[in-house]
Homo-oligomer: A and B are copies of this chain.
Amino acid sequence: MPMLRIALAQIDMTVGDIAGNAATVLARTREAVDQGAHLVAFPEMMLTGYPAEDLVLRESFRTSSIETLHGLAPRLAAEGLGDIAVVVGYLDAEGGPRNAAAVLYQGKVAAQYYKHHLPNYGVFDEARYFVRGDRLPVLRLHGVDVAVTVCEDLWQAGGPFAVAAQAEVGLVVSINGSPYERAKDDVRLDLAQRRAREAEATLAYVNTVGGQDELIFDGDSLVVDSTGTLIARAPQFTETLFLVDLDLPTATGDLAGPVRGMTIERQTLSDDPVAEFDPRPLEIADPLPDEAEVYQALVTGVRGYLRKNRIERVYLGLSGGIDSTLTAAIACDAIGAENVYGISNPSAYSTEHSKSDAAELARRTGLNFSTIPIAPLVDAFLQAVKLDGLAEENLQARVRAVTWMGLSNQNEPSIVLACGNKSELATGYSTLYGDAVGGFAPLKDVPKTLVWKLASWRNADAASRGETPPIPENAISKPPSAELRPGQFDSDSLPPYDVLDAIIEDYVDRDLGWAELIERGHDPAVVEDVLRLVDRAEYKRRQYPPGPKISNKAFGRDRRLPITNRWRDTAPATDVGSDPRPS
Specify which chain B residues have a CB less than 8 angstroms from the CB of A406 in the assembled complex.
381, 385, 387, 391, 394-395, 398
Specify which chain B residues have a CB less than 8 angstroms from the CB of A55 in the assembled complex.
561-562, 565, 567
Closest to A372 in B: B384
Could you say which of A302-310, A448-456, A473-481 contacts chain B?
A302-310
A203 to chain B, nearest CB (A): 28
Q: Does A399 contact B (CB under 8 A)?
A: yes
Beta-carbon contact of A561 and B405 below 8 Å:
no
Could you say which of A71-79, A121-129, A139-147, A176-184 contacts chain B?
A121-129
Select A515's contact among B60, B402, B514, B546, beta carbons within 8 Å: B60
Specify which chain B residues have a CB less than 8 angstroms from the CB of A51 in the assembled complex.
562
Beta-carbon contact of B53 and A562 below 8 Å:
yes
| Chain A 476-510 interface 0/1 with B at a Cβ cutoff of 8 Å (1 = within) | 00000000000000000000000000000000000
Beta-carbon contact of B384 and A377 below 8 Å:
yes
Beta-carbon contact of A566 and B128 below 8 Å:
no
Specify which chain B residues have a CB less than 8 angstroms from the CB of A582 in the assembled complex.
412-413
Q: Does A583 contact B (CB under 8 A)?
A: yes
Q: Does A464 contact B (CB under 8 A)?
A: no
Tell me the bound Cα distance from A311 to B580 in angstroms. Answer: 8
Tell me the bound Cα distance from A579 to B364 in angstroms. Answer: 35
Tell me the bound Cα distance from A531 to B52 in angstroms. Answer: 18
With A410-B387, A580-B310 already in contact, the answer to whether A60 and B398 are too (CB < 8 A) is no
Closest to A17 in B: B566
Could you say which of A2-10, A218-226, A419-427, A432-440 contacts chain B?
A432-440
Specify which chain B residues have a CB less than 8 angstroms from the CB of A383 in the assembled complex.
376
Tell me the bound Cα distance from A308 to B569 in angstroms. Answer: 18
Tell me the bound Cα distance from A387 to B211 in angstroms. Answer: 32
A15 to chain B, nearest CB (A): 5
Could you say which of A30-38, A283-291, A334-342, A537-545 contacts chain B?
A537-545
Specify which chain B residues have a CB less than 8 angstroms from the CB of A415 in the assembled complex.
583
Select A546's contact among B394, B439, B542, B567, beta carbons within 8 Å: B542
Closest to A64 in B: B567
A205 to chain B, nearest CB (A): 25
| Chain A 547-583 interface 0/1 with B at a Cβ cutoff of 8 Å (1 = within) | 0000000000001111111111100000011001111
Beta-carbon contact of A20 and B566 below 8 Å:
yes
Tell me the bound Cα distance from A564 to B125 in angstroms. Answer: 18
With A545-B543, A567-B61 already in contact, the answer to whether A560 and B388 are too (CB < 8 A) is no
Beta-carbon contact of A409 and B58 below 8 Å:
no
Specify which chain B residues have a CB less than 8 angstroms from the CB of A57 in the assembled complex.
511
Q: Does A120 contact B (CB under 8 A)?
A: yes
Specify which chain B residues have a CB less than 8 angstroms from the CB of A413 in the assembled complex.
580-583
- Central interface residue in A20, A380, A395, by most chain B CB within 10 Å: A380
Specify which chain B residues have a CB less than 8 angstroms from the CB of A58 in the assembled complex.
511, 513, 569
Closest to A61 in B: B567
Within 8 A of B (CB), among A35-66: 49, 51-55, 57-61, 63
Specify which chain B residues have a CB less than 8 angstroms from the CB of A560 in the assembled complex.
53-54, 125
Specify which chain B residues have a CB less than 8 angstroms from the CB of A211 in the assembled complex.
564
Within 8 A of B (CB), among A221-238: none
Beta-carbon contact of B402 and A513 below 8 Å:
no
A391 to chain B, nearest CB (A): 4
Specify which chain B residues have a CB less than 8 angstroms from the CB of A29 in the assembled complex.
none
Within 8 A of B (CB), among A173-228: 211-213
Select A120's contact among B128, B514, B539, B542, beta carbons within 8 Å: B128
Tell me the bound Cα distance from A569 to B543 in angstroms. Answer: 28
A437 to chain B, nearest CB (A): 5
Beta-carbon contact of B562 and A15 below 8 Å:
yes
Beta-carbon contact of B377 and A403 below 8 Å:
no
Tell me the bound Cα distance from A310 to B426 in angstroms. Answer: 21
Beta-carbon contact of A381 and B394 below 8 Å:
no
A565 to chain B, nearest CB (A): 4
Q: Does A366 contact B (CB under 8 A)?
A: no
Specify which chain B residues have a CB less than 8 angstroms from the CB of A311 in the assembled complex.
581, 583
Q: Does A386 contact B (CB under 8 A)?
A: yes
**Besides A127-B128, A308-B564, A543-B544, 14 other A-B contacts (C-beta < 8 A):** A15-B564, A16-B566, A16-B577, A18-B567, A51-B562, A54-B560, A60-B513, A125-B128, A213-B562, A377-B380, A385-B406, A402-B433, A408-B583, A413-B582
16 contacts across the A-B interface (CB closer than 8 A): A15-B562, A16-B567, A54-B561, A55-B561, A59-B511, A59-B513, A212-B562, A310-B580, A380-B380, A385-B403, A390-B409, A405-B432, A413-B583, A433-B433, A543-B543, A543-B544
Instruction: Sort A-B residue pairs by CB-CB distance and give the 8 closest, nearest first.
Output: A60-B513, A16-B567, A391-B409, A17-B566, A127-B127, A391-B410, A380-B380, A16-B566
